[in-house]
Structure 1
Amino acid sequence: MKTIPRRIVTAIKDGKSIIESDAIVSNVSEHFPGLIISDIWSTDSMPVKLDEEKVIENTAFPNTPKNGSYFRYVQIPPDKELGIEAPEGQPHPLMHQTDTLDYIVILSGEIWLIVDQGETLLQAGDIVVQRGTNHAWSNRSDLPCIQLAILLDAGE
């Protein structure tokens, strides 16, 4: 599976649908070695304005725009490649909480979803609905995990 995806964007020109752009995603960052985040699209209003693209700052823990959304493609390397280790009885070092509703699809590999009181193994095809909870991702395998995530603003 690709580390950085191709993005095709459609539009309407002279009343006809067109392919407006077709290129490898350029809003990509590597916040930790092997942790590659490709931000595909973002919005900052609801209802969405179909004729505009909102370019966003690519951060590991995003601040979704008010009334907006993020669409990201994420490759998470094995914990051992990141040098991450959670000592027994301690929270995972990458625990975080966002003010978003997240739809996450595991495309390839496997990863553990960790919350304050539990964890579960996710594999390709599994879907997570993450509702603003404290959470972390732990890749305990030997291969990268690729996720597709849509984050929707849930702030007051």
Structure 2
Amino acid sequence: MTGSNEALADERKDIRYVRRIVTGERPDGRSYIVSDGPTLNLSIPNASGLVGHVVWATGDGAAPGDDPAPEGHEFGFHSDNGVILRIADFPPDETYDHDKLKAFLDEHDVRDTEAPRHFWFHKTPTLDYAIVLEGEIYAMMDHGETRMTAGDVLIQRATNHSWSNRSDRPCRMAFALIHGDLAKAPE
């Protein structure tokens, strides 16, 4: 293994992969399982345990071909004119490398630089259905916050927000990130 391959393997050794099952339809109209295996499209921003698994995508950001989210295809926080389904694993706040996370948010031009209450504050032009699958996390707004646990759903409407994991274990969340006019919060 080369040095970069070893580093990648080490970076991915503790990841709990998401199982992705994709269906299709045969020419005769009968349904079947096209694929069943781990989601391999990962974003690992070197922020001490933060991992995003892109399960599926539509719109301008989707990869061409049969798999819109293959290994190695790069995604931003959203897909113009489409939807991204992402599973995110948030480590406890105390484990983050704040500088690396800020660089990651800056790379995608979403970081709040106006004296945010928390290091994760960012804003995207998306309507997000945010669902806690495991663990707990605080959804923070500019004013106010709420603790979310498994089964809770937050509807994030293109507002400035942050995720704060104040527990001692990771929190796994599912996000449907919908780009476009539906994202705008009423004025």
- Check whether TM > 0.5: yes
Question: Runs of 5+ in structure 1 lacking a partner?
Answer: 46-50
1:106 pairs, out of 118, 132, 142, with 132
Q: For the residues of structure 2 that align with 1:83 and 1:20, how far apart are their CA atoms?
A: 39
Structure-2 separation of matches of 1:100 and 1:30:
21
Pairing 1:128–2:143 present: no
Q: What pairs with 1:78-117 in structure 2 (closer than 5 Å)?
A: 78-83=92-97, 91-117=117-143
Secondary structure of the 1:67 match is coil
Query: What is the correspondence of 1:53-92 to structure 2 with a 5 Å cutoff?
Result: 53-55=67-69, 56-59=73-76, 62=77, 64-83=78-97, 91-92=117-118
Query: 1:27 is aligned with what amino acid?
Result: N
Asked whether the equivalents of residues 43 and 69 of structure 1 are also in contact (C-alpha less than 8 Å), the reply is: yes
Give the alignment's TM-score, normalised by structure 1.
Answer: 0.83
Greater relative contact order structure (CA < 8 Å, 6+ sep): 1
Partner of 2:30: 16
Letter in 2 for 1:57: E
Greater helix share, structure number: 2
1:24-60 per-position Cα deviation (integer Å, ceiling 9, x unaligned): 0110122112101100000017xxxxx954335244x
TM-aligned CA deviation for residue 3 of structure 1? 2.3
Tell me which stretches of 4 or more aligned residues in structure 1 moved more than 6 Å. Answer: none
Correspondence 1:29 to 2:43: yes
**2:170 matched to 1:144?**
yes
**1:43 aligned to 2:58?**
yes
Deviations along 1:86-121, whole A, 9 cap, x unmatched?
Answer: xxx852122100000000110111001111111111
- For these two proteins, the number of residue pairs brought into alignment is 143
Cα separation, 2, equivalents of 1:105 and 1:77: 16
Amino acid at match of 2:48: P
Match of 1:48 in 2: none
Cα RMSD between the aligned structures?
A: 2.1
User: Residues 78, 16 of structure 1: CA spacing in aligned structure 2 closer, same or farther, 3 A cutoff?
Assistant: same
Relative to its length, the structure with more strand (as a share) is 1
Identity percentage of aligned residues: 38
Equivalents in 2 of 1:54, 1:150: separation in Å? 15
